[in-house]
Amino acid sequence: MSSSPYPRSHLPVDPAPAALARPRRSPDPPLPPETRLLLASDGSTTLLLESLLGFTMTVHVISQEAVDATAIPSGAREVLQLGDDSRAVRRLSELRAPDGRVVSRNLVAHPAAESPHLPDAADLTPLGLRLRALRFPQQHRSLLAHGLTHWDDAAHVPVCAFKEYVIRCADESRIYVRERFNPGLVPVSDAVGTSRPLPGKAT
């Protein structure tokens, strides 16, 4: 099993821009409409997920620490303009449903030299909602890539949807975010004959 917090490989629906390594196109069929909407949105992922799923989420921070830039993905280093000898703040977290189900697994990073934007690790409010609540200066999300990857790095795990983007703040600082979504809640298949209620809704 890989110890890296970044997935082994991914199969994006759309190729990533030049800032990231160009992956191969996915041979998979089109994603369900609500999943395409989630991946293509440049707004708050948390707000959209809560609207689609019908419940409020909290964040569980697995770790939040300053690391060498080489400890985060090369694509993230490039987007954040970090050299190999730089330092970054890396946050690994999960968005969770009220019943404890993991909705998404997230990697968040920003240069350690910049003003700290990430909430305290004990804060249960998702990052985007916390920044809004703090009236943080204007943010703009730029989508970097989206498509399919593995839910985790273990063998024989299901495929899931992912997206990665950078939050550009008014003070010109940047926050890199990569999110993987639980395929049991954010579907990746719309096969004929498969009963697929709206994720999180009662049947």
Per-residue pLDDT of 15-24, as tens digits, reads: 443 444 433 3
Average pLDDT value for the chain: 77
Higher pLDDT, 125 or 192: 125
CB 169 within 8 A of CB 137: yes
Distance between the two ends of the chain, CA-based, in angstroms?
Answer: 36
* Cα 172 to Cα 46, 145, 200, distances in angstroms: 23, 21, 37
Q: What residue spans define the domains of the chain?
A: 10-181
Strand partners, 64: 91
DSSP assignment of 37-101? HHHH--S-HHHHHHHHHTS--EEEEEEEEEEEGGGS-HHHHHHTT--TT-EEEEEEEEEE-TTS-
Q: How confident is the model at residue 193 (pLDDT cuts 50, 70, 90)?
A: very low
Please determine, looking at this structure, whether the domain spanning 10-181 carries the CATH number 3.40.50.300. no
Vertex 140: Cα angle to 138 and 142 (nearest 5): 170
